[in-house]
Structure 1
C-alpha cells in the first residue's frame, strides 16, 4: 500500500483553530466589557510599558481554555515573561524547543485600552516546532476576527484577506511604533520614522503591533516597521500577512521567525524600498 505524505500538524489542526478563535472571542468580549473599569494599573519595563488586571485576567482565561483542550501543549504569554528585551529573547529561545507552542498577547495595545483609545486586540498563535501554523487576531471594538492557517490562506469573517497593490513607497501608508524602551529602541525607531515620513504618503502609529500587521494583511496598510518587538506582538500577525500574499522579514531582510525582534512587513511590492529606507537611516536596530 502506498504511504501517504506526512503532514505533522494536520492532526487536530481544525480543532486548534477552533480553540484559538474561541479563546480570542471570549477574551475579547471580556476585555471590551472592562473598558474604562481598570482597577489595577502597573508598569513593567518602563513608565510607558503598562500592564493591568485585565491583561492578567485575560491571559489566565486563555491559558485555561487552551490547556483544557491541549494539556500537553506549552504556552508563551506576555504576562508570564519578565520585562525587558533580554528576558523576552531568552523566553523565546527556550520556547523554540517546544513541539506545540501557543504564543499569546491577551491585550496588544494596553496603553490604548487604559486610555479608552479603541485600537487594541487579542493575539493568539500556535507554532509547531518553532514555525507558526495558526494565527488569530481579534479586535473586540470592531468585532473583527482575522484568522490564518499556514498554507490555507487568511480570512476576516470568512472573506479572504489580500495585501494592498501599491508598488511605490511614495504611494504607501506605513504603520510605525513608539517603543516603550525609551533608552535604546525609541531613538532607533525615531530615526526610521523620520526617514519614512519623507518617503511615504503618510505614517500611522496606532499603538498595536498585532493590529498593524492584521491591517497590512487586509490591505488597509501597505507596510509596517518597528524595532524591539516580541514574539507575542508579531507571531499571529506575521502569518496573517504572509498568508495574504505579503512579506515579513527582519530589518536585514532575512525571513521572519518567532525570534525576530526588528520587523518590516509589507505587501511585498515595497519591501525592498522599506528595507533600503530603514537601512539608510541607520534604523535597523541590528
Structure 2
C-alpha cells in the first residue's frame, strides 16, 4: 500500500520488500454492509435525513425564524390545525411563538446534524494527528501526549463541555469548539493503539530505512491501516456530539434562540407539557431520537463489516 517511494535496490539483495496488507475493495464492503437489513434501513434512513436537512430551506412550509412570516396569533395550534388565513395546515402544530413545528424541526435537524458532523470531523483531524505522532515517535513524546489524553478522558465529557460553554458563552462556533475539545482525546487514543501495531511492521521499517520523512510515513503508510477503527469511532462520535449538543442546548447554554437545534426546540416546549401542548416538545424529541439511532446503527454495522470476526 503506497510503497512506491521505497527503492527495492537500496535494500539488501536477500531482503524482500514488504508491502502493507491490501485493502478490501469498496464494492465488497458495501455488499457486506447491505447484507444486514437493519444496517441497510439505517443507512437509507440516515441519507434521507441528511437530504431533508440540506433541503430544509426549500421544503419547509415556512421559514420559522422570519419574523415577517410568523405571527403570535398562530401560537399553540394543535397538529392538523389550519392557519388563520386558511393558507396552510400546521401538520405538527405550532409552538408558543406561532412557528410551524414541522418547519422548525426541519431547520433544527439541519443544525443538529451539521454541528455533529463538523465537530466530529475536526476532532478526528486533531486527534488523529496527535495519535500518530504519539505512536510514531514514542518515548517522552508518547508519555506526555498520553498523559494529557488520560486527564481529558478521566473527566466526564458532559462536565467538561458545560464548563467550557459556561466560560465561552453561547454560539454555534463556541459550541463547536467545546465539542471538539471533549472529543479529540478519544480519536487520539484509538489511533495511537492502531498505529502502535503498524509502527513495528516491516514495511514501516523499510520506509524508515529509505529515509522518508516522518510525516509521509505517518500519513501515507501508517494512517491508511488505521482507517477501519477510525471510521467506526467517527460515526459513534457524531451520534455522541449530536446528543451532547442537544443536552447543552436543552440546559440553555448551547446554541442561541436564533440558531435552534432539536435540543433547543425540546427545551422551548418543555414548559408547555403540563398544559397539554405535548407536540411542541415531543415531536422534536422524536426527531432527535431517530437521528441518533440512525447514526448509531450505521456505526454499529460498519464496525461489524470492518471486523469480520464480529459477523458471527
TM-score interval, smaller chain: under 0.3
Between Structure 1 and Structure 2, the one with more helix by share is 2
Using CA pairs under 8 Å that are at least 6 residues apart, name the structure with larger relative contact order, 1 or 2. 2
Return the TM-score normalized by structure 1: 0.28
Over alpha carbons, which structure has the higher Rg? 2
Between Structure 1 and Structure 2, the one with more strand by share is 1
Return the TM-score normalized by structure 2: 0.26
